[in-house]
């Protein structure tokens, strides 16, 4: 078993001569494709010729991409060596070449998307093109929202001045702030400290920083809202969230059902905060205390123990999952321990379909590290199942379902962990899981509702003051938190630092992914053979829409009952946690 990444399947070292050789090969193949197809129009009229073009495009995406191997290698090297300027320089060099290649080859998808609507059915029903059918459907869906190629270039060029620079400005101002020797991120973390004096002091400093920059954030947010309004009008979107739904390959009808169903069950999140306030022995939690962990887990879990726990979990689910897990461990595809210069947190990442998937951890022998490992492994298992079943154009998960696999495996590992702990630790673990569920489902839908009102009001009145924005924000936070979380002074400005609102309407995907996962978990618990259906789902990648994929499983995700099934899993855990709290004498 290896505990550090083995990147040799990509390149042997930073000075590997094959890096330059591979770059030349990628440039050559990109130029070859461009030269062959850029001046032609026959593939836009004849499905047989488009099949040839798509096969070549699939091959380019499978083996070359826009300098994908070099980019991937140096991104991974940078993740474990962030302080090395030489590696950072190589990352920047690779990105520069990659962008140039992307610009050269983007004509292909733009032009295919604009195939005459009268001919589209002819292309979609041509059987040899069936491996690319949904890829084509997605391109055709974007057709009515695309501008001319010169206009698209202008849209790209203006994105920095009209959007990116504004967002970076606010986040940069905040990141430079310090109070008492602690930077902005550290203060954010300290608000979850077990010591009340520490978290209250951190919250005071945090609110002071937001108050200092809220007027700048007001202008920034109004500018990006205006930019989005202009873009949506130019692209003829009928609603502010439509572009997000199209890019996520999900029907607005499905998202609307998720939003309405979760919003109607905000009673669950309110009950959770009531329970948490009682466990902490306070009438109300301060706004900044909503994520403070209840209890304390002293037990340590070595990396070897985490492997045993995950092994037992996967053995009970499916042997293929276990084989994939062993592949990650034995092939050096998990970088385990913290080290100086290594990126914080954890992630699972893939490059091209022909590249190995890698997992980064910062394992500190905590119970939460076991949970995190299971979460990232879920993404890894998803990647490997897709790799086995899909072509390179269907290799990937839409945002709407990206978190299904990760939370599916994470929850089963938490269930396995719960077998070996006493009731005190179990209560702590259950509260931690509920906090995550509430934050991922109910809070994110409250965020979505806030974004909806924000965009709607802006388009009515043309400008929103910081007070307007703060009022909307607190209204939607109260809607899911209820009366057991105080909307403390300063909390009206917390929208200032939340980057989600600048990336527009993607937050629903946290809720949809977790609710889908919970529904699948319930089906597996009821019938272990359903794991075969789960594997089928995790293998589909982007070869079809989530709606159609679920229809194959006999599930209608436009039906609120499907989403209610996932919410009932959270409600069940909440009820069990309340009963355990009473049995232990923690609450009345």
Q: Which residues pair with 359 in a beta bridge?
A: 334, 348
Torsional sign, CA 67, 73, 76, 77: negative
The position carrying tokens 């887990």 is 297
Do 288 and 210 belong together in one domain? Answer: yes
Do 369 and 476 belong together in one domain? Answer: no
Residue 254 belongs to domain spanning: 156-297+425-508
141 falls within a domain: yes
Do 432 and 416 belong together in one domain? Answer: no
Q: What is the 3-state secondary structure (H, E, C) of 369-386?
A: HHHHHHHHHHHHHHHHHH
Do 274 and 329 belong together in one domain? Answer: no
Residue 386 region by backbone torsions, left for phi larger than 0, else alpha for psi between -120 and 50, else beta? alpha
13 falls within a domain: no
Do 364 and 392 belong together in one domain? Answer: yes
Do 60 and 110 belong together in one domain? Answer: yes
486: tokens are: 């105080």
Helices 196-234 and 466-481: crossing angle in degrees, nearest 10, is: 110
What is the rounded CA–CA span in Å between residue 114 and residue 199?
Answer: 55
For strand 358-360 and strand 182-183, is the pairing parallel, antiparallel, or unpaired?
A: unpaired
221 falls within a domain: yes
| Cβ atoms of residues 364 and 35 within 8 Å | no
Do 229 and 174 belong together in one domain? Answer: yes
Question: In the chain, how many domains are there?
Answer: 3
What is the rounded CA–CA span in Å between residue 423 and residue 583?
Answer: 10
Residue 197 region by backbone torsions, left for phi larger than 0, else alpha for psi between -120 and 50, else beta? alpha
- pLDDT (tens, 9 = 90+) of the chain, 588 residues, equals 899 999 999 999 999 999 999 999 999 999 999 999 999 999 999 999 999 999 999 999 999 998 899 999 999 999 999 888 999 999 989 988 988 898 899 899 999 999 999 999 999 999 999 999 999 999 999 988 988 888 887 887 788 788 888 887 888 888 788 898 888 878 888 898 889 999 999 999 999 999 999 999 999 999 999 999 999 999 999 999 999 999 899 999 999 999 999 999 999 999 999 999 999 999 999 999 999 989 888 788 999 999 999 999 999 999 999 999 999 999 999 999 988 888 888 999 999 999 999 999 999 998 889 999 999 999 999 999 999 999 999 999 888 888 899 999 999 999 998 887 889 989 999 999 999 999 999 999 999 999 999 999 999 999 999 999 999 999 999 999 999 999 999 999 999 988 888 889 989 998 998 998 988 998 899 999 999 999 999 999 999 998 898 888 778 899 999 999 999 999 999 999 999 999 999 998
54: tokens are: 């798509």
23: tokens are: 């770059």
What is the chain's Cα-based Rg?
25
| Cβ atoms of residues 279 and 587 within 8 Å | yes
Nearest C-alpha neighbor of 446 from the set 468, 479, 401: 479
For strand 347-349 and strand 182-183, is the pairing parallel, antiparallel, or unpaired?
A: unpaired
Do 287 and 163 belong together in one domain? Answer: yes
What is the rounded CA–CA span in Å between residue 432 and residue 420?
Answer: 17
| Cβ atoms of residues 3 and 303 within 8 Å | yes
240: tokens are: 């502010």
The domain boundary, picked from 146, 180, 201, lies at 146
> In 279-384, which ranges are E strands?
334-335, 347-349, 358-360
The domain boundary, picked from 420, 440, 455, lies at 420
Neighbours of 578 (CB within 10 A): 19
Q: What is the domain-level CATH number for residue 51?
A: 1.20.140.70
pLDDT at residue 16, rounded to an integer = 96
pTM, whole model, 2 decimals? 0.87
Q: DSSP letter for 285, please.
A: B
> In 180-322, which ranges are E strands?
182-183
What is the rounded CA–CA span in Å between residue 321 and residue 314?
Answer: 6
For the chain, what's the residue count?
Answer: 588
Nearest C-alpha neighbor of 287 from the set 489, 495, 497: 489
Do 398 and 446 belong together in one domain? Answer: no
Q: Give the distance from CA 391 to its chain's centroid.
A: 22
Do 181 and 249 belong together in one domain? Answer: yes
The domain boundary, picked from 103, 120, 146, lies at 146
pLDDT at residue 194, rounded to an integer = 87
C-alpha angle with apex 332: 328 to 335, nearest 5 degrees? 90
Do 414 and 433 belong together in one domain? Answer: no
Q: What is the domain-level CATH number for residue 407?
A: 3.40.390
Q: Which residues pair with 358 in a beta bridge?
A: 349
What is the rounded CA–CA span in Å between residue 519 and residue 531?
Answer: 12
540 falls within a domain: no
396 falls within a domain: yes
Do 128 and 264 belong together in one domain? Answer: no
399 falls within a domain: yes
559 falls within a domain: no
Q: What is the domain-level CATH number for residue 274?
A: 1.10.1370.20
543 falls within a domain: no
Residue 527 burial by Cβ neighbours in a 10 Å radius (0-12, 13-18, 19+): exposed
452: tokens are: 């909806």
The position carrying tokens 């029907």 is 251
């Amino acid at each position: 078993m290896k505990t550090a990444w083995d990147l040799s399947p990509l390149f042997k070292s930073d000075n590997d001569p094959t890096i330059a050789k591979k770059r030349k090969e990628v440039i050559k193949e990109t130029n070859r494709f461009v030269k062959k197809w850029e001046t032609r129009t026959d593939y836009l009229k004849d499905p047989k010729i488009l099949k040839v073009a798509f096969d070549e495009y699939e091959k380019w995406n499978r083996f070359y991409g826009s300098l994908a191997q070099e980019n991937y290698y140096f991104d991974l090297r940078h993740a474990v060596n962030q302080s090395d300027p030489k590696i950072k320089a190589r990352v920047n060099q690779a990105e520069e070449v990659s962008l140039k290649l992307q610009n050269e080859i983007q004509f292909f998808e733009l032009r295919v998307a604009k195939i005459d609507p009268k001919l589209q059915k002819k292309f979609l029903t041509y059987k040899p093109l069936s491996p690319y059918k949904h890829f084509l459907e997605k391109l055709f869906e974007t057709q009515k929202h695309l501008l001319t190629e010169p206009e698209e270039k202008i849209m790209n060029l203006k994105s920095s001045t009209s959007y990116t620079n504004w967002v970076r400005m606010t986040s940069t101002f905040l990141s430079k702030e310090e109070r008492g020797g602690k930077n902005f991120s550290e203060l954010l973390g300290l608000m979850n400290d077990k010591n009340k004096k520490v978290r209250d002091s951190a919250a005071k400093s945090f609110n002071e920083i937001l108050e200092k920059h809220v007027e700048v954030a007001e202008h920034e947010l109004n500018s990006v809202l205006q930019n989005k309004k202009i873009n949506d009008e130019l692209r003829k979107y009928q609603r502010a969230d439509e572009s997000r739904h199209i890019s996520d390959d999900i029907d607005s009808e499905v998202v609307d059902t998720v939003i309405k169903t979760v919003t109607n069950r905000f009673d669950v999140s309110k009950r959770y905060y009531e329970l948490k306030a009682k466990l902490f022995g306070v009438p109300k939690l301060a706004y900044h205390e909503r994520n403070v962990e209840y209890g304390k887990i002293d037990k340590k879990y070595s990396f070897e123990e985490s492997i045993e726990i995950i092994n037992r979990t996967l053995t009970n689910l499916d042997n293929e999952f276990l084989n994939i897990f062993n592949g990650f461990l034995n092939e050096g595809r998990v970088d385990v321990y913290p080290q100086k210069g290594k990126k914080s947190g954890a992630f699972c990442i893939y490059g091209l379909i022909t590249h190995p998937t890698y997992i980064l951890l910062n394992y500190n022998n905590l119970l939460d590290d076991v949970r995190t490992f299971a979460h990232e492994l879920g993404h890894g298992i998803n990647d490997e199942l897709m790799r086995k079943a899909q072509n390179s154009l269907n290799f990937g998960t839409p945002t709407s379902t990206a978190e299904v696999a990760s939370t599916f495996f994470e929850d089963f590992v938490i269930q396995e962990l719960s077998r070996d702990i006493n009731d005190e630790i179990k209560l702590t673990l259950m509260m931690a899981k509920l906090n995550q569920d509430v934050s991922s489902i109910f809070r994110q839908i409250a965020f979505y509702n806030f974004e909806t009102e924000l965009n709607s009001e802006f388009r009515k009145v043309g400008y929103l003051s910081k007070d307007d924005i703060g009022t909307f924000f607190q209204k939607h936070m109260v809607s899911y938190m209820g009366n057991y979380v105080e909307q403390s002074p300063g909390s009206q400005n917390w929208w200032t630092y939340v980057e989600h609102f600048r990336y527009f309407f993607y937050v629903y995907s946290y809720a949809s992914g977790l609710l889908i996962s919970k529904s699948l978990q319930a089906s597996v618990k009821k019938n272990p053979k359903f794991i075969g259906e789960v594997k089928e789902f995790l293998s589909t990648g982007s070869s079809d829409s989530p709606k159609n994929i679920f229809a194959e499983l006999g599930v209608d995700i436009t039906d609120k009952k499907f989403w209610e099934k996932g919410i009932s899993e959270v409600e069940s855990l909440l009820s069990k946690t309340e009963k355990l709290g009473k049995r232990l004498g923690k609450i009345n």
